[in-house]
Amino acid sequence: MTKISPSILSADFASLKEDIIEVDKGGADYIHIDVMDGHFVPNITIGPMIVEAVRPHTDLPLDVHLMIADPDKYVDDFVKAGADILSVHAEACTHLHRTIHAIKEKGVKAGVVLNPATPVEVIKHVVEDVDLVLLMTVNPGFGGQSFIHSVLPKIREVRKMTEQVDHSVEIEVDGGVNKETARLCREAGANVLVAGSAIYKEEDRKAAIAAIRG
């Protein structure tokens, strides 16, 4: 079944605990946490302290999306804070293979992320090392942007790549996911869907999660 990873970027940060408990009870599979540093992306959001603060309030895996320059420096901090899945952008890693293995050595799952304009060939030689591939369907930095349809063929390409690997690799999609674009992502082969505004801007978050899951 398709997994749903609500992005807390669209939550109310002043009532983050309640907003996390609500999507947990509403059927979420992961909690997606967007970490932005104002360098790799033009916005500043969450650091390890917030991840640590969130950790006691849900048993769901914390799906931490690092949109930061030089992520190697912070792997340890986010693992200690309670991340279960730590994903890094291929565009931010000079030694991608090294970074992925540094994450796995800490005992958490490692994901690799590609921006919309980055070709899937970039991950050809690390796909067997990762637990998850995250394809951005917006340019990272902000919630509430429109889905970029030209990423759909990349989902299919990654699906083919992951089928050659002898362990299961999740394919996650992030950005502009609503119940209509979710269907396109599922049909292309994605099995984890991140959604921020399409869940948190809805009154009934449980229904929004169910609608995106399809």
Distance CA(11)–CA(199), nearest Å, equals 9
Select which of 19, 29, 34, 131 is catalytic. Answer: 34
Q: How far is the CB of 190 from Zn ion (least distance, A)?
A: 14
Is 65 assigned to a binding site?
Answer: yes
Sole binder of ligand DX5 in the list 169, 176, 205, 208 (CB under 6 A): 176
Distance CA(196)–CA(68), nearest Å, equals 19
| Contact (Cβ atoms closer than 8 angstroms) between residue 120 and residue 114 | yes
Is residue 174 part of the annotated active site? The answer reads: yes
Contacts with ligand DX5, 23-62, as mask; x by CB under 6 A: ---------x-x----------------------------
Distance CA(214)–CA(210), nearest Å, equals 6
Q: Which amino acid is at 121?
A: E
Best CA proximity match to 150, nearest among 137, 163, 140 = 137
Q: How far is the CB of 66 from Zn ion (least distance, A)?
A: 9
Write b or e for each residue in 190-200: b if 16 or more Cβ atoms lie within 10 A of its Cβ, otherwise e: bbbbbbbbbbb
Scanning 120-128, 152-160, 179-187, 189-197 for contacts with ligand DX5 by CB under 6 A, the matching segment is 189-197
Q: How far is the CB of 35 from ligand DX5 (least distance, A)?
A: 9
| Contact (Cβ atoms closer than 8 angstroms) between residue 51 and residue 83 | yes
* Site membership for ligand DX5, residue 144 (CB under 6 A): yes
Q: Which amino acid is at 78?
A: F
* Site membership for Zn ion, residue 172 (CB under 5 A): no
Is residue 34 part of the annotated active site? The answer reads: yes
Instruction: Compute how many residues bind ligand DX5; rule: CB under 6 A.
Output: 22
Any idea which residues carry the catalytic annotation?
34, 174
